[in-house]
Amino acid sequence: MQNSHQPSDLVPVPEKEASKKAAPVAVSGSNIYTAWNNASTALHGDAIFFTKSTDGGKTFSTVMVLSPPNTNPKVTVVRNNVNINVAGSTVAVAWWTNETGALNPVIRTSTDGGNTFGNLIRLNSTSTLGTHSSSIPTTKPAGCSFLDPRC
């Protein structure tokens, strides 16, 4: 799912909210990776965006949307607490979402330096506080940690 969105699709973040929406960054050599959540009028709510730089931050790639589109504009889908990590060419982006009706952590990973991402993986299918853990088999070390937004 490699959608390109223009800045005009994004809803500005009010200045007083900007510190709550700081984009996490992961660095590996001269590669810089970042992902963030922002409202998008084209996607009917919050979406998770990703971009990368391979030249130390001089330029960045076209922004990709990592979260699935909200197909029901009558439902407000929340996606927050974005986290990103990199190990070698493996990039992991994780966030929390309520798109199934319960708040759950999800992750998408790339094994080619952020050029493409695999399918969305739900890390937990329950919404019971304090039981949010899962392991994903991987051949390369990469990980994300989660802050449970309900705590």
pLDDT for residue 66: 93
d(CA 58, CA 41): 29
Identify the helix (H) or strand (E) that includes residue 35.
strand 31-40
Task: Answer whether residue 9 shows pLDDT above 50.
Answer: no
- Higher-confidence residue of 73 and 127: namely 73
What φ, ψ does residue 3 adopt, rounded to 5°? -90, 140
pLDDT for residue 42: 72
Task: Answer whether residue 29 shows pLDDT above 90.
Answer: yes
pTM comes to 0.70
d(CA 42, CA 102): 24
Q: Given pLDDT bands bounded at 50, 70 and 90, which one contains residue 128?
A: very low
Task: Answer whether residue 111 shows pLDDT above 50.
Answer: yes
Q: pLDDT tens digits for 93-107?
A: 999 888 777 788 999
Short-list 118, 117, 109, 116, CA closest to 142: 109
Beta-carbon contacts of residue 147 (< 8 Å; ≥ 6 apart): 81
Q: What is the DSSP secondary-structure string of 74-142?
A: TS---EEEEEEEEETTEEEEEEEE-TTSS-EEEEEEESSTTSS----EES-S---TT--------SS--
In the block, tokens 């990776």 appear at 33
